[in-house]
Structures are given as C-alpha cells and as structure tokens.
Amino acid sequence: MDNATIKAQGEKYIMNTYRRFPFALVRGQGARVWDADGREYLDFVSGLAVNSLGHCHPKVVAAIREQAGKLLHCSNLYWIEPQVELARLLVENSGLDKVFFCNSGAEANEAAIKLARKYAKARGDSRYEIITMRKSFHGRTLATVAATGQEQFHRGFEPLPEGFCYVPLNDLGALKQAIGPRTCAVMLEPVQGEGGVYVAEEDYLKAVRALCDELGLLLIFDEVQCGLGRTGYLFAYQYYGVEPDIMTLAKALAGGVPIGAMLAKEKVAAAFQPGDHASTFGGNPLATAAGVAAFKLLLEEDLPRRAREIGAYLRTRLQELAGKYRQITEVRGRGLLLGLEIDGPADEVAVACERRGLLINAIHGHVLRFLPPLIIGREEVDRAVAILDGAMAEVFGNNAY
C-alpha cells in the first residue's frame, strides 16, 4: 500500500486518538527511515525515545530472531531465563535491588504507585498521597493520568483516582508546603520529556532526597524517557549523585519491543508479596531477550558517553541557530534529550522539516524536542541542523533577525 491508501484506511478503521503526519513509515536502518512511497527521512524522533540504538540494530534483530524460534511466551508461573538476565543487568548497573517487569511506561508507573502505597500499608501507616510535578508526564492509564501534572490530560476523564497533588519542578518551598500527613512519596522525572524538556536542578534534587529521608517519604524517579543513556548517563539520576527508592523504565529498554520495568530498593520491594501485582506479558521471553541485547549494547558501546558528547555538539549547533532566529528563545535539556523553545508555530517548523526529510517532534505548540538515536554522528547532526535552518527560514521568513 502507498501512503495515501494506508492513511485512508487508517482513518476508516483506527480510533482517532493521534494527530498524525500523512504518511506511514515502513522500514528503518540506523538513524534513517523510509515511508510507504519510498521517501527517506533522518529520524530525530526515534519512536519517541524508543529507538536509541537506531532502527533494526543487527544484534537486537538477531536476539529477537533467535528467541522467537525458541520460546515466544510463557507465564510468570515459571522462571524466564532472559527476564532473570535482564533483571541482573539492571540491578548490577543501577543502585536498585529488585525488578518487576511489565509492558509500558504507564504500567511501570502504575506498579510504582501501587508499591509506594503497599509499602506504607505494610509499615502500618495510612499514608497514600504522592506528590508529582507540574508539567510532568507519567502515562495514560487513569492512575498515571492522575499522577501527570498537566490539566489537559485530565479533562473529560474525571473522576480521577485520588491521592495525587502537584507542585512546580525546582521549587523546594512549594514541595515542603505540599507535604502533609497523608504524603507517602514524591515522584518526578529528573529530566521532563513530554512536558516540554525541563531539567531538574542539581541542588533541588539533592534537597528533595534529603527531605524524603528526613520525613520517611519514598522518592520515585520516572526514567521512562530520560533513562538508559539518553541524557548522557546510563540513568539520568546518576548526574545528580542521588538515588531513588523506586525507578521506572520503558521506552528504549528493549530496543523497540514493548517493555516496562519498575525497580526498587530491597526494603521497599519487600512490600510486594506473591499475588500483590502481576502482568501476563510482563517480562516475557521475547521482550526481555531483546532487552538483554539492547542493554548490553548500551554498555559495550558506551552510548551514555556518546549521548553526552554528541548531545553537546547538537546543543552547540542549536545555540548557533538561536543566534540566527530570534524566535528561538531557549535551548535546554541534557545529552540527547534537547528542546528548543520557539516563539512561533513549532508545529509548522516540524512540518517544514518533514518536507525536507527530517522527522522532528513538536510539543505543546511551542517546543521542538530532539530525540535522535544515541548512535548518530556529527555528520547527521549537521544535516539535521541544516534542514532545520531551511525550515525556520521558510516559516519565520522575513521575521527572522
């Protein structure tokens, strides 16, 4: 089928929940993808921070092929070898002790919310409220929507599960004020992605950790997007030198195969007993075999360092652009999770980029988010920036400097 046919049939049969570009991607390799009409694009969206190893990394493809021929699925009634191996890799490379596997970021956060509540109950206290950040994003299930500190995701779905309240990121005073007798945890993204690419400050995160320790609150880091090398560190929290009690992962964890994981410190994890939480597909052999291959690549090729270096280069190039277009009001982010604040129609810039062969993500109408695969090189960064330059010249026209 060509783009037009796929789009027409999609509009007929698929629920209308996404604003989509009018083409279908059918093939990818490295940082390049092709649509159904054979057009090539440079991919700076990476399936929204999923394809960190690029498309179809041969080692991930081989691991999936091999596992598919051995055992696709079996229940968590039995031990699953690649699940155990992926858990070992995660534990040995993080400050956390135990892993629960599921299938998505929202599910990982659901598991974290349940564990935080159960941990309080198991200690005989009745606290259940979790404080999250404004502009956060934690998923689309009812509880994770409630955890998400953005009104636009709440509207129309009330009543939402209770037990969440919101404070601005990097405002310690507001957090202190929000903590009450029912508070059991603080949950945040060290680098907010979906909300517009906002970075937690170092002093703030250290102070939040100290506050949680002082008051006996759990600290939950949602690293679904910012984890796994994206910000230049294997886990975004490693930049800060503070550790969470619970951390969630998903997106890039299995190189493109759906997966989610919730990790916790031993004493917190112990609040979950058999029967407390479960998932049919969670940690299934196919997903975790892909995860083992993806995680080993992340380590072997030192992709966190690469994200740090190439991210610094991309940032410099974007700052150059900011000197050229007064509509770029800020360049922010960390590693290869970068955002350009635009005083102008960010969506139009994204469309103009697409027509020139660059996939890029516009959020909230005023931010361009950069999520290239961590394997990109300088030459690809240069190409993307040249395309972006052309797109901005077109959209901003004579209103540039």
Neighbours of 301 (CB within 10 A): 16
DSSP count for the chain of H helices, then E strands: 13, 17
Angle at alpha carbon of residue 217, lines to 215 and 219, rounded to 5°? 130
222 or 245, CB closer to ligand PLP? 222
**389 catalytically annotated:** no
Q: Is 288 in the site for ligand PLP (CB under 6 A)?
A: no
Please indicate whether residue 302 is annotated as part of the active site.
Answer: no
Query: Which of 105, 190, 244, 291 contacts ligand PLP by CB under 6 A?
Result: 105
Q: How many residues bind ligand PLP (CB under 6 A)?
A: 15
Number of residues written out for the chain: 401
- Min dist CB 106 to ligand PLP, Å, is 3
Q: Using CB under 6 A, which of 64, 106, 111, 293 touches ligand PLP?
A: 106
Q: Does 251 participate in catalysis according to the annotation?
A: yes
Distance CA 200, CA 188 (A): 9
Q: Which of residues 16-45 bind ligand PLP (CB under 6 A)?
A: none
Give CA torsion, residues 328, 333, 335, 339, to 10 deg.
Answer: -40
Q: Smaller CB distance to ligand PLP: residue 295 or 325?
A: 295
DSSP letters, 313-340, are: HHHHHHHHHHHH-TTEEEEEEETTEEEE
The tokens 């052309």 sit on which residue?
390
Query: Cα–Cα–Cα angle for 119, 116, 245, nearest 5°?
Result: 95
Rule CB under 6 A: is residue 138 a binding residue for ligand PLP? yes
- How far is 154 from 146, CA to CA, in rounded Å? 7
| Residue choice 43, 110, 129, 194 for contact with ligand PLP (CB under 6 A) | 194
Rule CB under 6 A: choose which of 28, 30, 54, 139 binds ligand PLP.
139
Question: Closer to ligand PLP at the Cβ: 221 or 325?
Answer: 221
Span near ligand PLP by CB under 6 A; candidates 75-83, 93-101, 188-196, 206-214? 188-196
163 binds ligand PLP (CB under 6 A): no
Other CB atoms within a 10 A radius of the CB of residue 341 amount to 17
Residues in the site for ligand PLP, rule: CB under 6 A?
Answer: 104-106, 109, 137-139, 189, 193-194, 222, 224-225, 250-251
- Positions annotated as catalytic residues are 137, 222, 251
